Amino acid sequence: MSLNTDFRDADRVRALLAAMTPVAGRVAARLGRPLQIMEVCGGHTHAIFRFGLHQLIPDTIEFIHGPGCPVCVLPVAAVDQAVALARQPNVILASFGDPLRVPGSRGSLLQAKAEGAGVRVLYSPYDALTLAKAHPRKQVVFFAIGFDTTMPGTAHSILAADRAGIGNLRFLCHHIRLIPTLTALLEADEVKLDGFVGPGHVSMVIGSRVYAPIARQYHKPLVIAGFEPVDFLQALYQLVLQLDQGRCDIENAYARVVADTGNPAALQAMEQAFESGVDGHWRGLGRVPGSGVRIRAPYRHLDATGLLAVAGPGKAADDPAWCHGVLTGRIKPDQCPLFRRRCTPEHPVGALMVSSEGACAAYYQYRPEQDHPEEARRD
């Protein structure tokens, strides 16, 4: 399969840019300002900078980097819970690599590991079952985070652990649902935007149909995009065409992976393991109604929140206020006074600098011109 090369082809990129530029120019002229497009997913933010698309896309299109990186919105209190559990004797705290670096009020999980806490990096939540079986005298806690893409993996692992009767495994779940998060942003009217580039991998789980209210109720067009340069530009072109034609539809430019109905088995596993509609408190976003989940009652014996009474409550959150500005598109990462000064990937102050998919980390890594602001002409 040559999908990667097909969707990275330079001629296709050039053709899409050539087609898009005059249309975007026409719409921007009509609006009297650049188009404001939010790419919801951190994977897209990363792709824009990694492939240098920010240098190719016309100035008439401006990106607002959305809240779709679960590591970036992971609240201090959640990190504190995980650190407190990791520091308990006889506990192995396992998680993906990225959450381990997120700063809490008493350091990150990596710092806890350096101080002797039992912390392990896993590639998949399903590997936590193997880890628990291999360490029968330890309590294994999987710190599960992520949007709807990651949730089915956690859900399946919870159901499988229940079936296998594994007694020394718990899940500390801080998952987020995408649609309530988007709806909250639109309800709060905090972001001024013309349309969305929809997240490809969340959409392969939830499907394209569920976005209908974004177009119908909030009158914003959304086009689902994959993560190769051609995928992203194709979606952006379709979005610009919609705006030019005054249309407002949900379109899918990643049909090779995303079906209208998503992945029914994944949705069913999520529904079985999790209760949705729980209010969430996220870093930089504050309270987002209905965006959180909790493990359903039949699986409560696998819920690590039961262990937290011993660990004690976390300290109040103290996120840098600037993170909120970046997440809602009010400022660009390099407009934050901490950017590159106090906040770097080596010593992140805010979580947007922790994950490689975070807007601040992407700016830091791929925009060296920002070292010389006098040379920066874009944005």
Of 81 and 95, which CB lies nearer to other proteins in the complex structure? 95
Contact with other proteins (CB under 8 A) among 34, 42, 292, 350: 42
Binding mask 93-112 for other proteins (x = CB under 8 A): ---xxxx-------------
Q: Which is nearer to other proteins, 127 or 379 (CB)?
A: 127
**DSSP category for residue 135:** -
Between 170 and 175, whose beta carbon lies closer to other proteins? 175
Q: How many residues bind other proteins (CB under 8 A)?
A: 56
Instruction: Tell me the C-alpha distance between 249 and 92, whole Å.
Output: 47
Instruction: Mark 271-310 with x for binding to other proteins (rule: CB under 8 A) and - for no binding.
Output: ----------------------------------------
In this structure, what DSSP letter does residue 211 have? G
Find how far residue 115's CA is from the centre of its chain. 29
Least distance CB 315 / other proteins (angstroms): 25
* 332: number of Cβ within 10 Å: 20
Asked if 237 and 190 touch (Cβ cutoff 8 Å), the reply is no
Q: According to CB under 8 A, which one of 27, 93, 204, 222 is a site residue for other proteins?
A: 204
**Residue 67 parent element (H or E):** strand 61-68
Q: How far is the CB of 42 from other proteins (least distance, A)?
A: 6
List binders of other proteins among 219-278 (CB under 8 A): 227, 230, 234, 237, 253, 255-259, 263-266, 268-269
Using CB under 8 A, which residues numbered 346 to 365 contact other proteins? 355, 357
If one asks whether residue 28 binds other proteins (CB under 8 A), the answer comes out as no
Of positions 67, 103, 146, 320, contacts other proteins by CB under 8 A: 146
Site for other proteins in 311-340 (CB under 8 A): none
Token match 């990150």: residue? 108
DSSP β-bridge partners for residue 169: 140
Report d(CA 151, CA 144) in Å as an integer. 8
Nearest partner of 125 among 176, 172, 85, judged by Cα: 172
- Range in contact with other proteins (rule: CB under 8 A) among 12-20, 28-36, 106-114, 363-371: 12-20
Where do the H-state alpha helices sit in the chain? 3-6, 10-31, 42-50, 53-56, 76-86, 109-114, 127-134, 151-164, 178-188, 200-206, 212-216, 229-244, 264-273, 308-311, 321-327, 359-366
Buried b (16+ CB within 10 A) or exposed e, 112-133: bbeeebbbbebeebeebbebbe
185 binds other proteins (CB under 8 A): no
Does residue 189 interact with other proteins by CB under 8 A?
no
Residue of 105, 124, 276, 305 interacting with other proteins (CB under 8 A)? 124
39 binds other proteins (CB under 8 A): no
Between residues 206 and 311, which has the closer beta carbon with respect to other proteins? 206
Q: Binding of other proteins at residue 56 (CB under 8 A)?
A: no
Asked whether 221 and 243 are in contact (CB, 8 A), the reply is: yes
**Cα distance between residue 118 and residue 217, in whole Å:** 48
* Binding residues for other proteins (CB under 8 A): 1, 3-4, 6, 11-12, 14-16, 18-19, 41-43, 69-71, 96-99, 123-127, 146-147, 149-150, 152-153, 156, 160, 200-201, 204-205, 227, 230, 234, 237, 253, 255-259, 263-266, 268-269, 355, 357
